[in-house]
Amino acid sequence: MSSLTLIQPQPVDFETQQTCDWLDPLPVIGQAGLGGIAAASTNIGTGTLTVASIVGGTPLGAYRVTVITAGALAQFSVADPNGALIAQGATGVPLYAGGITLTVTQGATPFAVGDSFAVGVLPAPVDLSGLRFDLDCRAGLGSATFALQASTADATPTIINGGTSGVIAMRVLKAALARCPTGTYPYSILATDPATGLTVPAFYGTIHHVAVAAQLGS
């Protein structure tokens, strides 16, 4: 399966200027992955929590699993990173909670009410090796005129593909930026798999292009 299918478009706005090179890295292109599991230091029970899988697109952040009833078949709740209750389950039984499949298992010392675990969901970088990235920056919405272009396929790449790091970075030199009129332009950065010819958006937003640094943020 091509890693192209794992790319979800992300909004990013840029500020550039005619007198400097554009060398910005972009956010990690990743899918949700397990960042770690931590039992609260105050836990009475010696049981464990394991995660079998995390679905792509699962919101990132810290999820809290809290025991709400004690006993041989203790029950627990799962709260998302915003603190909202998303699921309830019982020990020893796999539970699907907001994209996470997890199991809480009793240990030699049973769980007590209030025992808890934190489950971290972080972006796992997508391997971008072999993919082509192109900046499509138009003079305006619906315009066929390009304001600025960049690509990993240029003889001297103006977008750098970081491969397994899941990161791309802009490397547009000031000579090209000096030729671009000042203004605010809509853009997208498209990812293409040369093996299939399929293309998906990786980033989108606006580029606020000014003459000098003093105008940034204006």
Is 218 a residue whose pLDDT tops 70? no
Confidence band for 216, pLDDT divided at 50, 70 and 90 = low
Range(s) within the chain of domains with CATH label 2.60.40: 3-29+126-215
User: What pLDDT shows up at residue 85?
Assistant: 98
Is 20 a residue whose pLDDT tops 90? yes
Confidence band for 5, pLDDT divided at 50, 70 and 90 = confident
Classify residue 25 by its DSSP letter: B
CA distance 97 to 77: 9
Chain centroid, CA 27 distance in Å: 7
- pTM of the entire predicted model: 0.73
User: What pLDDT shows up at residue 217?
Assistant: 64
The tokens describing 11, both together, are 């909004």
- CATH no., domain 3-29+126-215: 2.60.40
User: Does residue 4 or residue 96 have the better pLDDT?
Assistant: 96
pLDDT digits (tens, 9 = 90+) for 136-173: 998 877 777 888 999 999 889 999 999 999 999 999 99
Q: Who contacts 143 (Cβ-Cβ below 8 Å, separation ≥6)?
A: none
CA distance 167 to 67: 39
Chain centroid, CA 76 distance in Å: 29
CA distance 101 to 86: 12
Q: Are 49 and 100 in contact (CB under 8 A)?
A: no
